[in-house]
Amino acid sequence: MAQIIRGKELAALCKQQVAERVKALEERGVKPCLAVVLVGENPASKVYVAGKEKDCAECGILSRVLRMPETTTQEELLDTVKALNKDETVHGILVQLPLPEHLSAQPIIETIAPEKDVDGFTPINTGLVSLGDARAFYPCTPSGCMKMLYSVCPDLAGKRAVVLGRSNIVGKPMASLLLAADCTVTMCHSKTKDLAQICRNADILVAAIGKAKFVTKEFVGKDAIVIDVGMNRDENGKLCGDVDFDSVEPAVYAITPVPGGVGLMTRAVLMENTVKAAENACKTLA
């Protein structure tokens, strides 16, 4: 039986630590504030934004949700982000993705002031993450995955880590953080040959490909720690990860569940990044 790395407990601990930092800031007269921009009516996005509002309330962070209509133009969205950049009462800015099809996300992301980029998606933050620079806002999902790994393996140095998926928001920053923790990192993607064999040699396997139950027991070794980032629907419409939990769990050392795993940690790290942004702003003023 594998150790189950539960997001619920770890996220609760992380948010409790954030709440203490928020209190310390309040004593200095600063109320951390996260602004979330939601464009259109995407039902999943609405659920994610509601989750963020709830997390903010739990941590004592002020949340400001700017709801913009589906018909919003690129220019209107850019202007909204620019206004939030200038607003000194706002410490973190997040533009909820995906945007409606007529809008282009990259120029919007690049407009977010790096010091308010609590998602960690701007080129400046991406660069800082790959430099291993602690000033970076680590993207929430990979950062949450690292916390989950450390909870079962405090010393990651020398571990063979395999990252499945090379997206800019998960796979690539995940590989950077593992490298910074002195792991030996292999990145795999849709053109990788002998995928199962490469994965079987991993001490740490991070699956972030968006393919329901793709990783089966043929992909894992018995001492592996498996982190499942995937959020997919199975054939019955049930939420599931990229890992076939039922076949993999008995075959590994530790594993994260879906739901109840990485998703919760991603949310908690967003709170951590927001309080960090507010602390940084406070230092700048001091």
Q: Which residue number, 224 or 281, has a Cβ lying nearer to ligand NAP?
A: 224
- Torsion-angle region of residue 84: left (phi > 0), alpha (psi -120 to 50) or beta? alpha
Closest contact distance (angstroms) between CB of 133 and ligand NAP is 23
Q: Is 230 in the site for ligand NAP (CB under 6 A)?
A: yes
Residue from 12, 211, 216, 239 in contact with ligand NAP (CB under 6 A): 211
DSSP label of 113: -
State yes or no: is 182 an active-site residue. no
Strands 160-164 and 204-207, bridge-based pairing:
parallel
Per-residue DSSP letter, 249 = G
Query: In this structure, what is the dihedral angle of CA atoms 46, 51, 55, 57, given to the nearest 10 degrees?
Result: 60
CB nearer to ligand NAP: pick between 116 and 166: 166
Considering only residues 16, 89, 190, 197, which one is a binding residue for ligand NAP as defined by CB under 6 A? 190
The nearer residue to ligand NAP, 85 or 192, going by C-beta atoms, is: 192
In 3D, which of 87, 85, 109, 112 has the Cα closest to residue 99? 109
Q: Among 18, 89, 85, which Cα is nearest to 57's?
A: 18
169 binds ligand NAP per the rule CB under 6 A: yes
Count the helices and strands in the chain (H runs, E runs): 10, 11
Would you call 9 helix, strand, or coil by DSSP? helix
The one-letter code for the residue type at 231 is M
Check if 119 is active-site: yes
Whole-number minimum distance, CB 275 to ligand NAP, in Å? 19
In degrees and rounded to multiples of 5, residue 208 shows phi and psi of -145, 70
Question: Using CA atoms, how far apart are residues 92 and 88, in angstroms rounded to an integer?
Answer: 10
Q: Nearer to ligand NAP by C-beta: 198 or 282? A: 198
The contact mask relative to ligand NAP for 108-147 (x = CB under 6 A, - = no) is ---------------------------------x------
- Residue 165 engages ligand NAP in binding (rule: CB under 6 A): yes
Question: 25 vs 164, which CB is nearer to ligand NAP?
Answer: 164
Stretch that binds ligand NAP, among 23-31, 88-96, 118-126, 184-192 (CB under 6 A): 184-192
Residues serving a catalytic function are: 52, 96, 119
